[in-house]
Amino acid sequence: MKPVRVRMAPSPTGHFHIGGARTAMYNFLLARQTGGQFILRIEDTDRKRNTPEAQAELMEALHWLGLQWDEGPDVGGPHAPYTQTARKDIYLAHAQQLIASGHAYRCFCAPERLQRMRAEQLRSRAPLQYDGLCRRLDPAEATARAAAGEPHTIRFMTPDTGTTTVHDYLRGDITVENRNIDDYILVKSDGFALYHLAAMVDDHLMGISHVFRSSEWLGTFPLHALIIRAFGWQEPVWVHLSVFLKPTGKGKMSKRDVTSEQSIFVLGLRDLGYLPEAVNNWIALMGASFGPEETPLTMDELIERFSLDHLTPAAARVNFEKLDHFNGLYLRKLSPPDLAQRVRPFFERAGLAPDEDLLRRIAPIIQERIVTLDDAIDMAGFFFRPASRPPAAELLQKGMTAAQSVVALEQARAALAAVSEAEFGDHAALEAPLRALVERLGLKAGQVFGLLRVAVTGQRVSPPLFETMVIVGREQTLARLHWAEGQLRAAAVQPAIDT
């Protein structure tokens, strides 16, 4: 395939979500695969809804995912500027060109009139379209009124008979009757172009060869083709990507969705503790297939395997369980130092000050039992907190009395005390005597180790016991065991406690 020029053209309104991320990724993948360019263009012509924060967030999210663009507002490029508000005059000139060629006209209808018209159409169950009042105006008169400063918009003059056929790469030909295509506004009365004009002009001027966009654009797709054809330009290859549906399947995901604790926002996912590799892999697979091999796929593999022919046109429900699975996969592939580094901000956010060295020693023992980076806090936060001093009820294991537990604790402490400081660094040196103890006591390993686990970590769920003890250290381990012993001894005289 020859090098493509593709573009991601978000409008900086709310939070950047995974649907946009996937569109950006497919653009990126095809650009890298073919040796083409990936362009970032900010569609900010709606000055009412844009926010600078949204633009910053979107760029940060793209960076986090590793989807670097070749041309864009920050890096520049041969077709600068890459921000639509800065291109206002370009669109205006093109709109005028359309008026001159008879493909567009000025409309002086006030918003109030349009509103009334729509209300009436709703009542009479007529199609919701502009009624064409200004279309019938004498062009010379319209020009004069505009010159006199009368506020107006510029509308596209859609043919009122015949049909228009457009071609979507995933769906084939789509034919619609021209009377069903509205005379859409191209330029607002504030002089800013709307998407319909601005995007078409930019895509042409910037030499875009393939357009990936959401299937929400299918409705106005014929209009866009008509506009391009009115200019006599060549159309890009159109690829309308399916939308993401909520996990329930009821409706598409929306920027206003805050329903679940799972996030549909890219940066939200990051803060939840997901890895960019996992997020990339996850969203790539919703709406496309990348061959028979098993995941996880690296970005290079995604680039290599991406194909327009393996995109699916149907809407996909987002499945967060699969994200969890992918995240676990990638988490386990990380080197311990890498894991330590990635998990550090989460500890800090939890108010803990993790020692770098300690973090690196903990990494390998939590690696295969956390799903998100944030899970590390629940699993290993105790390493960075003072001894937790669990109550007797926590310490007691199933089928064990307090008295039995005291004995087990005493003997465990004795066994561990017999291990020298030097040997304590090896978890096998701890495991052997404790297993022998389990044997002697005639109890189950799960019972004794469970007791020790709670005594040492304060948790019923923790990393492996012996490795944990090694990291906690000889002195602390013995102290915690001792404390638990006292706790149980007090409980033993009060028979009321049961598990």
| Residue list 145-164, contact with RNA (CB under 7 A) | 151, 153
Q: Closest distance between RNA and the C-beta of residue 493, in Å?
A: 28
- The answer to whether the beta carbons of residues 200 and 41 sit under 8 Å apart is no
Query: Which tokens go with 281?
Result: 């892999």
The DSSP letter of residue 47 is T
- From the candidates 88, 246, 252, 255, give the one annotated as an active-site residue: 255
Task: In angstroms, give the least distance from the CB of 495 to RNA.
Answer: 26
Is 245 a residue that touches RNA (CB under 7 A)?
yes
Residue type, 464: P
The distance of Cα 265 from the centroid of its chain, to the nearest Å, equals 5
Q: Minimal distance in Å, beta carbon 246 to RNA? A: 8
Choose between 260 and 289: whose C-beta lies nearer to RNA: 289
Q: Which helix (H) or strand (E) holds 447?
A: helix 445-457
- Nearer Cβ to RNA, position 64 or 108? 108
Site for RNA in 448-487 (CB under 7 A): 449-450, 453, 460-467
Contact range with RNA by CB under 7 A, out of 52-60, 258-266, 289-297, 479-487:
289-297
Question: Of the candidates 78, 232, 292, 386, which one interacts with RNA according to CB under 7 A?
Answer: 292
CB of 175 to RNA, least distance (A): 7
The stretch near RNA (CB under 7 A) out of 55-63, 68-76, 444-452, 475-483 is 444-452
| CA trace torsion 112, 118, 122, 124 (10° rounding) | 100
Strands 237-241 and 210-214: parallel
Question: For residues 185-224, which are near RNA according to CB under 7 A?
Answer: 185, 188-190, 192, 194-195, 198-199, 215-220
Sign of torsion over alpha carbons 168, 174, 175, 176: negative
Mark 370-409 with x for binding to RNA (rule: CB under 7 A) and - for no binding.
Answer: x---------------------------------------
Of residues 320 through 349, those in contact with RNA by CB under 7 A are 321-322, 324-325, 328-329, 332
Q: Scan residues 76-105 and list those touching RNA (CB under 7 A).
A: none
**Cβ-based nearer residue to RNA, 160 or 348:** 160
* Pick 352 or 432: Cβ nearer RNA: 432
CA pseudo-torsion sign 288, 293, 296, 299? negative
Cis peptide bond upstream of 296, omega within 30:
yes
Q: Which residues 10-29 are close enough to bind RNA by CB under 7 A?
A: 10-11, 13
- Which candidate, 230, 200, 235, places its Cα nearest to that of 105? 230
Q: Is 255 a catalytic residue?
A: yes
Binding mask 26-65 for RNA (x = CB under 7 A): -----------------x-xx-xx----------------
Which stretches within 128-236 are classed as H helix? Answer: 139-147, 195-205, 221-231
First to last CA, the chain: 68
Residue listed under structure tokens 């864009």: 72
Told to check if 4 binds RNA by CB under 7 A, we report no
Q: Residue from 90, 92, 114, 352 that binds RNA (CB under 7 A)?
A: 114
Using CA atoms, how far residue 13 sits from 44, 58, 124, 154, 333, in Å, is 8, 10, 35, 25, 36
Instruction: Choose between 114 and 358: whose C-beta lies nearer to RNA.
Output: 114
Q: Shortest Cβ distance from residue 94 to RNA (Å)?
A: 15
Q: Are 70 and 40 in contact (CB under 8 A)?
A: no
Instruction: Verify cis geometry, omega within 30 degrees of 0, for the bond prior to 159.
Output: no
Query: Is residue 398 within 8 Å of 447, Cβ to Cβ?
Result: yes
Active site residues: 255
